Amino acid sequence: MGLERAPLLADDALTGAPWCRAHSDLVDAWLAGLLQKAENGGGDGVALVAVGGYGRRELCPESDIDVMLVHRRRPDVARLADHIWYPMWDEGLHVGHSVCTVREALALATDDLDTATALLSARHVAGDPRLTDELARQSLTRWEKRSKRWLTELGGRVEVRHGKAGEVSFRLEPDLKEGRGGLRDVQSLRWAQAAQPVLLDHDEAALAPAYGVLLDARVELQRRTGRPTNVLALQEQDAVAAALGLSGADELMARVAEAAQVIAWTSDDTWRRIRSALRGPLGRISRRARPLGPGVHLRDGEVGLDLDAAAAGEATVALRVAAAAAAHHTVIDRASLEWLAANAPALPDPWPEEARSLFVDLLLAGPAAVRVIEALDRRGVWPRIVPEWRAVRARPQRNPYHRYTVDRHLLEAAANAARLSRAVGRPDLLVTAALLHDLGKGYGGDHTEVGVVLARTIAARTWPPAGTSTIPPPSPGWQRQSAPSPAFACWPPSPRPTGWRRVRPRGARGRPSS
């Protein structure tokens, strides 16, 4: 009897992980029947074992079915294998298969990362469960014993894969599996977790729904195309969105980008901590805390908070540690970041002078500020500083002219603007305007006109004099010519003595261009 997949493929009520589990169960039952028929109802000393994605019960419509025929020196194992593999090939399935004893499987996994990780998800399908239990137990034990070696190799594999596949969040046609922020990143983190505890409580809670979003998209992509593809091509995005009950490709890609950002940040943070642990205490930069300012220190190459001092609840605590981390081209240590997520207050309205100064210092740090701000945003701290940011988080720009989502585009613009800070009279205004220039894209209407309103609101909060003065909006022509014009128009004159009243390179004439 053949494998009846057509009803499941046509069942639009099932999507994502539930569909994969149903598919895995269907294949399980069919393979169990094949083994039972080959064994005439027996099964002693032989087992069918699912590994890899099939072992995790994540069998997408066009996934490889990775299965092992594990035996205890059965002389007729070749005959049994023929009764399993040939029907699978006849069905046109993508099959990854092997025939081996437990010892042979473990020997192969000793030097092969792909085999070692595949065995971590070994799951019994049919036959003698004692063989499957032995294989799974010994595979995990050996993985744990060789944790340092495997974590080093796995971390290197992650870096290479990211370089080849690019960013899921930012690609017009992202690779849902292999890209940075993709499904493989989560699987790699779980393999690392099997070696030794590396994920924090929040990480586990954040990764699961993000993984589900990408798996939903992958299932529908393969179901609609009938091909084993992981690249969400432009021409497939509307159909995938419709299958998932979404309004269209924009909503789908926003969900994909948000999920990928969660995964990518968690992956980067976790692998940074793993590499630090692998180097050991003597391989780190410094084991002593070096004070950087009130309640802020540098230790082991990371900036952290003196949590006792931070507990005073100062309004600027998040900006203080962020500016210090960016200035030293490093990150906020995870304990301090989690403390900020739980305790950092929203900035008061209007901002105190220290907040304005720290905010500008952070942006003037340039590229180093990008990952610091992204970390604050991932843990919900950045919107307490810039509440309007929520509307642009992970918002895709689905055209070939923009590489990044709106939020990352704004951070990169500010970082690039910081490189010009010595060429202008108002570097504070330059980097702030760059950060906010497309903020209106998160709201309805013309983003330039909306941006004027947003910039005025933010200016009144951050530089109170702007809220008490009458500043005419830029002309329509000026808005069209210069995307950052809303922010340029709404900030007050410099509080410092200077002859410049508009951000532009020294010696330049006319208005700045976009």
Residues 41 and 131 occupy one common structural domain: yes
Residues 51 and 131 occupy one common structural domain: yes
Residues 240 and 318 occupy one common structural domain: no
- Answer yes or no: is 1 within a domain: no
Q: What is the CATH number of the domain that holds 256?
A: 1.20.120.330
- Answer yes or no: is 299 within a domain: yes
Task: Render each residue's pLDDT in the chain as its tens digit; 514 residues.
Answer: 789 999 999 999 999 999 999 999 999 999 999 999 998 766 689 999 999 999 999 999 999 999 999 999 888 999 999 999 999 999 999 999 999 999 999 999 999 999 999 999 999 999 999 999 999 999 999 999 999 999 999 999 999 999 999 999 999 899 999 999 999 999 999 999 999 999 998 899 999 999 999 999 999 999 999 999 999 999 999 999 999 999 999 999 999 999 999 999 999 999 999 998 998 765 555 567 888 888 899 998 899 998 776 555 688 999 999 999 999 999 999 999 999 999 999 999 999 999 999 999 999 999 999 999 999 999 999 999 999 999 999 888 877 677 789 999 999 999 999 999 999 999 999 999 999 999 989 887 778 888 888 988 898 898 765 444 333 333 333 333 344 445 554 555 544 433 333 444 444 443 333 3
Phi-psi region of 510 (alpha: psi -120 to 50; beta: other; left: phi over 0): left
Helix (H) or strand (E) holding 96: strand 95-100
- Predicted local confidence at residue 487, as pLDDT: 52
Nearest C-alpha neighbor of 173 from the set 11, 503, 377, 399: 399
- Predicted local confidence at residue 397, as pLDDT: 82
Other Cβ atoms within 10 Å of 447 Cβ, number: 19
- Predicted local confidence at residue 480, as pLDDT: 35
- Answer yes or no: is 465 within a domain: yes
| Residue at which a domain ends, from 366, 385, 404 | 385
Cα 95 to Cα 54: distance, rounded to the nearest angstrom: 11
Nearest C-alpha neighbor of 489 from the set 473, 500, 510, 470: 473
Residues 336 and 414 occupy one common structural domain: no
Residues 156 and 227 occupy one common structural domain: yes
Residues 131 and 157 occupy one common structural domain: no
Residues 71 and 165 occupy one common structural domain: no
Residues 322 and 428 occupy one common structural domain: no
- Predicted local confidence at residue 485, as pLDDT: 45
- Predicted local confidence at residue 291, as pLDDT: 87
The answer to whether 477 touches 508, Cβ cutoff 8 Å, is no
- Answer yes or no: is 476 within a domain: yes
Q: What is the CATH number of the domain that holds 110?
A: 3.30.460.10
- Spell out the long-range contacts of 455-462 with Cβ–Cβ below 8 A and sequence spacing 24 or more: 455/486, 455/487, 455/489, 455/490, 455/491, 456/490, 457/388, 458/386, 458/388, 458/490, 459/490, 459/491, 459/492, 460/350, 461/349, 461/350, 461/351, 462/350, 462/351, 462/355, 462/356, 462/359, 462/432
The answer to whether 488 touches 502, Cβ cutoff 8 Å, is yes
Residues 301 and 236 occupy one common structural domain: no
Secondary structure tally for the chain: helices H, strands E: 23, 7
| Residue at which a domain ends, from 275, 298, 322 | 275
| Residue at which a domain ends, from 350, 385, 420 | 385
- Answer yes or no: is 214 within a domain: yes
Residues 196 and 254 occupy one common structural domain: yes
Decide the pairing of beta strands 95-100 and 65-71. parallel
The number of distinct structural domains making up the chain is 4
Other Cβ atoms within 10 Å of 147 Cβ, number: 18
- Predicted local confidence at residue 474, as pLDDT: 35
Q: Is 503 helix (H, G, I), strand (E, B) or coil?
A: coil
Peptide linkage before 472 cis (omega within 30 of 0): no
Domain hosting 506: range is 390-514
Residues 212 and 327 occupy one common structural domain: no
- Answer yes or no: is 333 within a domain: yes
- Answer yes or no: is 280 within a domain: no
- Predicted local confidence at residue 467, as pLDDT: 44
The answer to whether 207 touches 266, Cβ cutoff 8 Å, is yes
- Answer yes or no: is 400 within a domain: yes
Complete edge-to-edge strand list for the sheet that includes strand 123-127: 95-100, 65-71, 46-50, 123-127
Residues 257 and 162 occupy one common structural domain: yes
